[in-house]
Structure 1
Amino acid sequence: MTTQRSNDDSRAEPSIARRADEAHACVEAAGRFRIYLGAAAGVGKTYAMLDEAQSCRRRGDDVVVALVETHGRPGTEAHLAGLEVVPRKIVEYRGARFEEMDLEAVLARRPQVALIDELAHTNVPGSGRNEKRWQDVRDLLAADIDVITNINVQHIESLADAVERITGIAVRERVPDAVIRSADEIELVDSSPERLRRRLLHENIFSPDRAREALRGFFTTETLAVLREMTLRFVADGMRADSSRRSGDTRGRTRGETAERMLVGVSTAPGNDAVLRRAARFAARLEADLDVAHVLVGDADPLNVKIDDLRRLAEDLGADWTDLTGEDPATALVDFAGRRQITQIVVGPGRRGRWLELLGSGSTIRRLSRLAGDAGIDVHVFARAGSAVSPPDAERPESARHLGRTAANADPRAM
């Protein structure tokens, strides 16, 4: 389920608790796992979490703050009033002291609901059982503890390469799409770029020095506008998927015959990770199931490490991975597509692909297009990161945006 929330620039946002009260709903009604999603830091995701927690507390539910980062913002700190906060774990690493969420303490406390900020956070080595905070959330959910959390759009795995092109900043901390899509509810916390920049100028997000740097870098109007559009599109895709699931009684009976199913053929050529992420976004818009296949031609592939990385990425994107063998990759892909009722095939990135080197420039792509066309399957060729070349009658994926490189992010950990 996906819903939307819009924030004001200088005042505390309208309380989500009031809407929850009116609907006689809380975390239990909304589902065990709720995510507040925003385009950037400062849109009000933590406010929304705390508003919901206060509503649940007033109702008598057992709610704890497992970890909330106030960043010294008085408004955020005020929203914590009356909520039980689980003490953090102090960790020493490379001569410095860090505070991390104490997963074991939260599990021992066993609340009904736990609030956890910054889902994409990487835990300090030695601080606990998991490398990533989203893995901590997974453990809490497995222990039957409901979780309310938040994330910025740049940390979603399938969007990471697009964000890097938009901002010029590599996104180091990422959350698998499969984790995001598993949420019982994703709620959009929205703010216009102008409003967010005003909040920055009013020092409601960063300190003055960091705010000035951010306004010249990550928080330019152009960058924020594109990130907002990306966030809205991700939420809209989720709403369409929710609608499809709710109408399962009428659509589900024919889904096997009418649903789209996409296959991505990957190799060890540079750029296949970007192709896979774009294909995942394309599949989400088509409400298509996603398969990924690697065709091993001849001897064992000497670049197993790259294939392992792609296999992990496919898993993070919620795709099914299959290893195929055959002397002709085109035939292997089309035969597999026929067995799995594939309707769309994506391959790339064109001239640099190992298959093309093995079989002559362009020959595999031409043969794939012919064989797939005979089988009624559309083929999309991603010639390079950010572009696509498809047969004339094939539905084209989205065109990637190319914006100028911006200055470094004012808050590196926000990426």
Structure 2
Amino acid sequence: MYHSSKPSPDSSYIRPAHRGKHKIFIGMAPGVGKTYRMLEEGHRLRQEGMDVVIGLLETHNRQETAQRAEGLEIVPRRQINCSGVFLSEMDTEAILARQPQLVLIDELAHTNVPGSQREKRYQDVEVILAAGINVYSTVNIQHLESLNDLVARITGVVVRERIPDRLLEEADQVVVIDVTPETLEERLKDGKIYALEKVDQSLQNFFQRRNLIALRELALREVADNIEEDALAETANSHQPAAPYCNIHERVLVCVSTYPNAVQLIRRGARIAGYMHAPFYCLFVDDPDRFLTKTESLHIETCERLCNEFDGEFIRVRDQDKARAIAGVASNYRITQIVIGESQRSRWKLMLRGSLTHKLLRLLKNIDVHIIATDKLN
């Protein structure tokens, strides 16, 4: 994957025409250790013979971070004249001319100073990747575009510097740097994140415990989503027989019918989904050989409205084989939990035709089935 040889500055070196690999270190907030971890990996790869440089490092006066950078080559920053004031930015062209195998670039969401060739640092990173140079970068979860409104509701802070979601989707690897909120608070109080005079203000604003807990969950879930999607894509692209795959996220499916207890089942399923912070779905399987009465149709419409009230998705399919239909939807939607009511059939019919539950259990793998008794719904 990597070559240990380093081109001389005046050689006519031509890099192979392939895109560089991108690894992103993501965290819930400043101070979790993203930059430090990136520098550690840079040192390790350099010791293994790789040509590693620092393209841009922001230490924020953190002594430990500055010390960890020692021994790694730093590409000098470019000085840009901005209305008579000289400001420094990453020198992308110097990195391209230097042609390292790996470049370490801090703060992916940074906005470049006016007069720069590109507006955002992530755009510089894309240029470097297109040149076949591998990049390690860092970013905090609150800078992700799709989470902007949610982060503002959680923290009361509107994040101005943002990156498109596609950067995480296109990255070859996303690593979450995770610490507990308590550990982060200790680092803050010790002056390891900001200057001591800013600590109290930070603890009362962005670094409130409830904010950190919510941001930590966002970071962990975002990476879990990426892992799950990558695993599904790998299975889809593989020519090997598909191996059983366990979903990372819980997803709850409630199976409703024309029986009156369907409304109570939806409420029970919504509670289960709420406990698990899981997406919620309801399924009704239409039998193509029979028509619903007006009362039954109104009942299903009521189920659909209730499902929508719980922010769920109502699914309706036509199939004579209910168990097969449920198993198909469960597979397509990557369901992990199914909620059904106990059978309303007579004991004699169950003996002749078997129960839906038994058929489902034969068809489903790695899915929990909750069978709710009628008396427990009241």
Alignment TM class, shorter chain as reference = 0.5 to 0.7
Counterpart-to-counterpart distance in 1, 2:203 and 2:85: 30
Pairing of 1:228-267 with structure 2 (within 5 A): 228-248=216-236, 249=238, 250=241
Find the counterpart in structure 2 of residue 125 from structure 1.
114
For 1:190, what is the secondary structure of its paired residue?
coil
Counterpart-to-counterpart distance in 2, 1:381 and 1:163: 27
1:388: how far off?
Answer: 7.0
Percent of residue pairs bearing the same amino acid type: 44
Find the counterpart in structure 2 of residue 45 from structure 1.
34
Normalised to the residue count of structure 2, the TM-score between the two structures is: 0.59
Is the 8 Å Cα contact of residues 39 and 227 (structure 1) preserved in structure 2? yes
Picking from 183, 186, 189, the partner of 1:195 is: 183
- The answer to whether the aligner puts 1:164 opposite 2:152 as a matched pair is yes
CA-atom RMSD in angstroms: 3.0
1:392: how far off?
Answer: 6.1
> AA paired with 1:109?
R
Find the counterpart in structure 1 of residue 87 from structure 2.
98
> AA paired with 1:213?
Q
Picking from 28, 36, 59, the partner of 2:48 is: 59
Unaligned runs of 5+ in 1: 1-30, 253-284, 287-342, 344-369, 396-415
1:140: how far off?
Answer: 0.3
Picking from 74, 77, 92, the partner of 1:88 is: 77
The Cα offsets for residues 20-67 of structure 1, whole Å up to 9 and x where unpaired, read as: xxxxxxxxxxx8110001000000000011001101111111111000
1:93: how far off?
Answer: 2.1
Counterpart-to-counterpart distance in 2, 1:184 and 1:34: 6
Counterpart-to-counterpart distance in 2, 1:186 and 1:194: 24
Is the 8 Å Cα contact of residues 70 and 77 (structure 1) preserved in structure 2? yes
The Cα offsets for residues 249-285 of structure 1, whole Å up to 9 and x where unpaired, read as: 3459xxxxxxxxxxxxxxxxxxxxxxxxxxxxxxxx9
Q: 1:228 to 1:106 in 2, by over 3 A?
A: same
Q: 1:81 to 1:389 in 2, by over 3 A?
A: closer
Q: 1:63 to 1:392 in 2, by over 3 A?
A: closer
Pairing of 1:318-333 with structure 2 (within 5 A): none
For 1:159, what is the secondary structure of its paired residue?
helix
Pairing of 1:178-217 with structure 2 (within 5 A): 178-217=166-205
Counterpart-to-counterpart distance in 2, 1:94 and 1:380: 59
Normalised to the residue count of structure 1, the TM-score between the two structures is: 0.54
1:235: how far off?
Answer: 1.0
Is the 8 Å Cα contact of residues 41 and 205 (structure 1) preserved in structure 2? yes
Pairing of 1:349-364 with structure 2 (within 5 A): none
The Cα offsets for residues 168-188 of structure 1, whole Å up to 9 and x where unpaired, read as: 111111111111111100001
Is the 8 Å Cα contact of residues 28 and 178 (structure 2) preserved in structure 1? yes
Find the counterpart in structure 2 of residue 69 from structure 1.
58
Q: 1:107 to 1:165 in 2, by over 3 A?
A: same
Picking from 61, 64, 67, the partner of 1:78 is: 67
Q: 1:95 to 1:379 in 2, by over 3 A?
A: farther
Unaligned runs of 5+ in 2: 1-19, 244-277, 284-296, 317-328, 330-378
> AA paired with 1:239?
I
1:245: how far off?
Answer: 2.3
1:139: how far off?
Answer: 0.2
Find the counterpart in structure 2 of residue 299 from structure 1.
none
Is the 8 Å Cα contact of residues 123 and 131 (structure 1) preserved in structure 2? yes
Counterpart-to-counterpart distance in 1, 2:143 and 2:166: 13
> AA paired with 1:161?
D
Picking from 137, 140, 156, the partner of 2:125 is: 137
Pairing of 1:141-152 with structure 2 (within 5 A): 141-152=129-140
Counterpart-to-counterpart distance in 1, 2:306 and 2:145: 21
1:94: how far off?
Answer: 3.8
Is the 8 Å Cα contact of residues 106 and 138 (structure 2) preserved in structure 1? yes
Is the 8 Å Cα contact of residues 379 and 391 (structure 1) preserved in structure 2? no
> AA paired with 2:184?
L
Counterpart-to-counterpart distance in 1, 2:310 and 2:149: 15
For 2:177, what is the secondary structure of its paired residue?
strand
